[in-house]
Each structure stands twice: as C-alpha cells, then as structure tokens.
Structure 1
Amino acid sequence: MVKQQKEMSFLGHLEELRWHLVRSAAAIFILAIVFFIFAQQVYDYFLLAHLKSDFITYQLFCDFFNLFGMESDFCNISFADKKLQSIKVTSQLMNSIWSSLILGVIVAFPYIIWEMWRFIAPGLTENEIKKSRGFIFITSALFFIGVFFSFYVIAPISIQFLYNYQITDAIQNSFTLESHIGLVTNMLLGVSILFELPVVIYFLTKIGLISPEFLRRYRKHALVVVLIVAAIITPPDVASQIVVAIPILILYEIGIRVSKRVIKNQEKNAK
C-alpha cells in the first residue's frame, strides 16, 4: 500500500521541524531535571568516578601490565590528596546545571535521532523507509559505544596522566571543579560524535559527495586529520591520542565498506 503524503508549504515544513525540535528539547530538559535532582549520585558514581583509585579501568590496566611482568603507574594511583576547588559562589550550582544538560543530551540522543527520522520519513518512499529502519539503532549504538569507550578508556587514561603530570616540584597542581567536569564531558561528547563516522560517510556517499575510491585515495590524509582531532579532544600525551585514533581509523575502514555498499546498491537500483 502506497503511503499517502500531503503536500506541505515551506512554512508548513518549518512548523513541523519546530515541533520536532521542541519535543527533542523537552526530552533533554526532563532528563536534565532528573540528573540535577540526583546530582550527588551523578557526581559520585559517574562524573567523579575516575578520581577513585579502585576505578575498574585502573585495576584492569594494572592486572594487564602485571600479567607481562611490567610495572605500571596504574597500580599505584591515589587521588586522596587531589581535591577539586570551587572558587566561585555559583560554581557548584552552575556546574551541576550545565553537566545535567550535557548528560540529558547524551541520554536523549536516541530520541533526538528518532525525531529527526520522523521529520525526514514523510519525504521517503516506502522502500527507503523499510531500508532505514535500522538507522536509529545503528546511530545510537555507535554513539553509546563512543560514550562507553570514552568513559572507561579515554577519560581514566587522560585523568591519570594530567593529575600526575608536573613540570617541577615548585608547582603544585590544584584543579577546579569546572576544569575536571569540562574535561570529562567534552571527551564524552567529542569521542561519541567521532564514532558516528560510518553514518556520516553513508550519507555523504548517498548524496554523491564521496566514494570508496575517494576514501581510499585520501586514507593517509584522513590519518593526519584523525591524529589532529585526537590531539584536540585528549590530553597532550601520545598514549591517549593513539588510543583515540585506533578505533576512529577502524571506523574509517568500516566507512569505506559502507560507502562501497551504498554505491553497489545505487548501481543495482539504476539497472
């Protein structure tokens, strides 16, 4: 059965888009309110979890290096004397509001993608709708894999390095609440968005901007870009940058195969 679609004016489309954006914003704010209400638990068990020496990643890294008879700083981590500073009257309140909004965006991501799909779906054919049903799941899965990877791999490595990096004993590290939370939330969002690379490649191939040959030809250039991006969203240590770069390069290779499949399907449909 062919889906009946009614013609809409430009203003009608704008009105429809507005309501999709309103519902997405409402979802974010509702989740943000929940996170704000439970701010203490959110900070203790999530945003400040990396400041606990028994954090699971530190234990796993310690066991991994011990397995090969190697010494590791991850076995002697202690943040007991590392207290975050709140130097403004409104710091804790504004930080909890801002972090709640960011976490609201992260948790509401599947719903936001669903609202975007609902806006685009009326303009698709029945066959295109059928083929795009897995879009929300794949996009959300990649995003949350990025969140998981950032929280359990990138963040602990970065925090362990930065909290122990010292040029000279004459300088004492004393970090603010804003700098720590900013580091964690920026990595969560930044790495998660980078994990959407195959989805971006899919759409760019779909509209004809790139091709598998283009991606293969500029693979070396992509490596340089990935390393630059990794350097921006991670601390200035080689280990963290490599840890970020490796999965992104893997996703780039997956993107090449995705692009190849899109071209193949387009050629098949053109016959």
Structure 2
Amino acid sequence: MTDHEEIWMDHLKEIRKRCIRVLIFFVIALVTAFSFVPRILDFITLTSTLVNVDLNVFNITDPLLLHLKIASIVAFIASFPYLIMQLWLFLKPGLTKSERRFIYKYIPMIFILFISGIAFSYFVLVPYYIRFSQQLAGSTDLNIVMGANTYIDFLSKMLLYFGLIFQFPVLVFVLSYIQVVSSQLLKVIRKYAYFGLLIVCAFITPPDPISMGIALVPLAFLYEISILLCKVNERKRRNKLKTS
C-alpha cells in the first residue's frame, strides 16, 4: 500500500469513527426523547398562543409511529450541534491557524441560524397556515380533522427545511472567504436570486401566496445579510494586503 493510499485509509477510518459517534449520540437522544413524547406532543399541539391543534389517530399503529417521528425530530435537532462539532474535529488538523480562527469566530452562527429557522417555521409560518386553513374551513362549515402523523410529517418538513435554508449566509460567507463569490456578484444577481428564493418558497411552503410571502421575507433578509458578510470578508482581505 502506498503512502497516498494509507492517508486515504486513515481519513476513512477517522470519518467512520466520527459517524459512529454521531449515530450513538443520535440513538441516545432518540431513546431519551421517546420517553418525553407526551410532554413534547402537548407543546406541539399548542403551536402558538393563537392556534390550538386537535390531533387524531386513525390506525392502531399510529401512536407508535407518532412517538418515533416526534422522538426522531427532537433527536435530530439535539444531534445537529454534535454533528457540527464532529465535522469540525475531523477538518481541524488539515486547517491553517488563520482558517481555524475563522471557523472558531463564526461557527456559532451555524447554530443561531439553525435555531432561528426552526423558530420562524414553528412560531410564525405554521401557526399562520393552520389559522388560515381553519378560517377557510369555517367559512364553508367544514371541520378540520387533523391526523397526528400527517401533521407531524408536515411540521417536521417545515422545521427541517427552514433550519437548513437559514444556513444560507454561512454558505455564502465561506464561499466569499475562499473567493468563489463576491458582494458585487450577489448585488448583480439579486433580482434573479429573489426569483429563485420565491421558487424555493413555492416548493417548501403550503400552496398559497401569503405563506410564500411570509417565507420570502426572512430569506430575502438573509440574502442581504450575506452581502454584508461578503463585504466584511473583502474588507479584511484588503486590510491584510495593505499590511503585508
């Protein structure tokens, strides 16, 4: 085996070790969350102070599936910081001192944006859509009977989508750091980017214009924040060139 192959084998072993650690952490979080599902479900059914959700099960297997889904959602959210930490520990040995400082300084942004995306989806977008649907049903003398599993599927997708989409500034910041994108480029393509964000909103939100508009507002704000972050990187790069 050549030195190059040995290096690759060492990397693969390291990845395997860290994946196993993340999996173990996820399983522990899953088992722990499973025992708290009744309390978590009480919190979920409130959704907000403005909306009450009455969930129902229709099959004998639904309660077990419901427990597993809720526990999985909570376990994923709890495991996300640990996953990022393991990824960081894997990449750290191959980074320079300046690159490590860069990541140390801005890695909290990943967690803040992830939680912000989840909070926006849970406290703003989902309650609005439930209230909107209930008003439509009420205007036609219909009653909404929510299946618990269907509702949890809808909720989990919304939380996951927005938790990940809110990572957009981090992605742009990293691409700016390695000089793949610039603030000027983001300004030039702004109108096309907004159109693309609108298409994304159409895919991940319920099919009504108001939901799309509510979702577009924070995404557009994140896009503008991304431009500012690019400018910060560019200013630092110029200052470093002046002093060198």
Is 1:137 the counterpart of 2:108 in the alignment? yes
Shift, 1:83, TM fit = 4.2
Shift, 1:133, TM fit = 0.8
Q: Which has the higher helix share?
A: 2
CA contact (8 A) 1:33 1:100 kept: yes
1:107-165, Cα deviation, whole Å (9 max, x unpaired): 22222111111111111112221222133311101111112222111111111122333
The alignment covers a number of residue pairs equal to 238
Give the corresponding residue for 1:110. Answer: 81
- Check 1:36–1:239 CA distance in 2 against 1; reply closer, same or farther (3 A cut): same
Which residue among 86, 89, 92 is the counterpart of 2:60?
89
Which residue among 14, 17, 20 is the counterpart of 1:16?
14
Which residue among 68, 72, 80 is the counterpart of 1:101?
72
Is 1:241 the counterpart of 2:212 in the alignment? yes
TM-score between both structures, scaled by the size of structure 2: 0.87
**Aligned partners of 1:170 and 1:243: how far apart in 2?**
27
Shift, 1:98, TM fit = 2.1
Alignment of 1:201-212 (within 5 A): 201-212=172-183
1:51-110, Cα deviation, whole Å (9 max, x unpaired): xxxx33x2xxxxxxxxxxxxxxxxxx6x5xx74332222122112112211221112222
The percentage of aligned residue pairs carrying the same residue is 28
CA contact (8 A) 2:69 2:152 kept: no
Is 1:40 the counterpart of 2:38 in the alignment? yes
Is 1:224 the counterpart of 2:222 in the alignment? no
**Aligned partners of 1:171 and 1:269: how far apart in 2?**
65
Letter in 2 for 1:178: N
**Aligned partners of 1:212 and 1:258: how far apart in 2?**
8
Letter in 1 for 2:30: A
Q: 4+ residue stretches of structure 1 with deviation over 6 A?
A: none
Runs of 5+ consecutive residues of structure 1 not aligned to the other structure: 1-7, 59-76
Letter in 1 for 2:46: A
Letter in 1 for 2:31: I
CA contact (8 A) 1:27 1:108 kept: yes
